[in-house]
A and B are shown apart, each in its own frame.
Chain A
């Protein structure tokens, strides 16, 4: 049963709605003004507010944020009058979850209520799950990373196969570990198979194991990795390197959950959970006939794509502060200051090796600066400085500088401002791409981005991105 607050000055409308809500098995309270309604939010845990627009003490739309900011963070459904075609758009833009046209029909109220409560239940469950996840070693709180962490939570709760993709050094192994250690299999083994490190012949014997005498040199039997992962998790790393024949063999193992060791005469069962990872584009490989699409389809029951570090400037800042602290401690030196130019460089470099490269660069920089109180750009590895110099030379003078407030005499603008500028530019690009790739479908955009409707609309508003023109 949900608790519903109705803000409506027309007594008849309020009574009718209240009656519908009660008939649907929920509890409702009505107030005729915004002020009275806000007053009520302090005293109970409301799930939902039905909000009229024209109210005696103001426009309901202006109070949406106040309702949502109250302790139980209820969702808001706006009730708009007929003959107000823009009302719906305005309501959603103002942060409402949904809108209903008056006069209210029972079926519309029922549908809307059902959807919002389902959504609410899901988000609450996810929030709880995320709090309970052990995320040792994962640093960063960007939206993109949070969306990946949410998927870790879902993957940990079930047994579905998982495919983790992302450029080198983005944390695929780190995330595979997080899934395993948060799953019901955490007490059992996590077994790595590195498909890139094993030559084809060795992949087969390593995965399946062999009986004595299976081939020359097999002077005793060897248990395969699939069996060693029994009751645990098998991490098939660099899965894009598997040959076509091994893909076929492995697909069969996935379907049967059993296999035959080389030279063996019987099938052996293994109850393992599969996580696969790659930095290759498996879709492209499958189009080119290099990766079986039936295998890809199976692997991808849950897909986690770790975005490159350069797309998450916020995470760079967090990682730098976390990693430098760790380094000061492990080198046994007193913490040093990082010069603003240093941070600026770290934020504008492209990090093709992602977090691994960042870790390396910081390690190099700090050990180069052991005798100095401040870490400067010149302490960064030379290839990074060279790359930065090249891209600066390219950017000047006609391109817009990354740091717009920079005047010739001053090398650097304030850190926060620089970060805001970069973040904001990046956000705009992201949301334009999101809306275009989801063809303006808000529900889909929410799913892809992992954002709530309100946050999504806030971003669209902030960057003046229109979804109009895209059919719903």
Chain B
């Protein structure tokens, strides 16, 4: 599982998002990208399954660049931060089918909380899959039937 974070650090919100993420995920476990083209290269990495991307778009232009990468983002859990609340931005935002969508002027504590849960769910799922393929029925039960948390 990888955690990819996209956002310009030159922009105020971009720095805040990074700080929030760094506060919950250990150093070295997050990959930061400051341009869409670097992110594009990063997404071609073979170990993309179960990965998560936090995408901070500070402008309309950035959002369209991200949108053009949607084929590479298809199976990632996306947390998307939009540059504004206009209807058309929200429509583009939802077309990426994010697990969580918010705006650049919102509380990033929420983003961190959602990210923590996404990471936990995926970690749990990977562990459960490994256990299941190792033939451990107890976990299989838990995997299918009861709470993740």
The residues of A with any CB-CB pair to B shorter than 8 Å are: 167-168, 173, 177, 189-192, 194, 196-199, 202, 206, 217, 220, 222-223, 228, 235, 237, 241, 279-281, 284, 330, 349-350, 352-353, 356-357, 359-360, 363-364, 367, 383-384, 386-387, 390-391
Contact = CB atoms under 8 A, between A and B. Distances in A.
Interface string B95-128: 1011110000111001001100110010001001
A168 B125 contact: yes
Contacts of B140: 352
Contact of B49 (A284, A352, A357): A357
Given A202-B110, A364-B46, A384 B100 contact: no
Contacts of B105: 220
Interface string B9-21: 0000000000000
A192 B97 contact: yes
Contact of A280 (B50, B132, B144): B144
A167 B144 contact: yes
A353 B46 contact: no
Nearest to A279: B144
B148 A241 contact: yes
Given A189-B95, A387-B135, 18 more contacts: A168-B125, A168-B129, A190-B97, A194-B77, A197-B118, A199-B117, A202-B110, A202-B113, A202-B114, A228-B94, A280-B145, A284-B145, A352-B128, A356-B49, A360-B47, A363-B47, A384-B133, A387-B133
A353 B129 contact: yes
Nearest to B75: A356
Contacts of B148: 196, 241
Interface residues of B, number: 40
Contact of A194 (B99, B125, B133, B147): B99
A357 B97 contact: no
Contacts of B99: 192, 194, 197, 237
Give me the 3 closest cross-chain CB pairs, A-B, nearest first: A360-B49, A352-B132, A387-B133
Contacts of A223: 85, 90
B97 A173 contact: yes
B23 interface: no
Contacts of A364: 46-47
Interface string B71-106: 000010100000001000011001101111000011
B25 interface: no
Contact of A350 (B98, B107, B132): B132
26 contacts: A167-B144, A189-B95, A190-B97, A192-B98, A194-B99, A196-B121, A197-B77, A197-B99, A197-B114, A198-B100, A198-B117, A202-B114, A220-B105, A223-B90, A228-B90, A235-B97, A281-B145, A352-B128, A352-B132, A352-B143, A353-B129, A357-B49, A357-B129, A360-B48, A384-B133, A390-B135
A189 B117 contact: no
Contacts of A192: 94, 97-99
Contacts of B47: 360, 363-364
A224 B49 CA distance: 30
Nearest to A356: B49
A177 B121 CA distance: 22
A235 B98 CA distance: 11
A196 B123 CA distance: 13
Contact of B94 (A191, A197, A222): A191
A363 B48 contact: yes
B130 interface: yes
Contacts of A279: 144
A167 B128 CA distance: 12
B41 interface: no
A249 B107 CA distance: 25
B46 A356 contact: no
A189 B125 contact: no
B49 A330 contact: no
A350 B132 CA distance: 9
B100 A197 contact: yes
Contacts of A241: 147-148
A167 B47 CA distance: 21
A202 B128 CA distance: 26
Nearest to A229: B94
Nearest to B71: A330
A357 B126 CA distance: 10
Contacts of A173: 97
Given A280-B145, A281-B144, A284-B145, A367 B46 contact: yes
A441 B85 CA distance: 56
Nearest to A176: B97
A189 B95 CA distance: 7
A387 B97 contact: no
A188 to B, nearest CB: 9
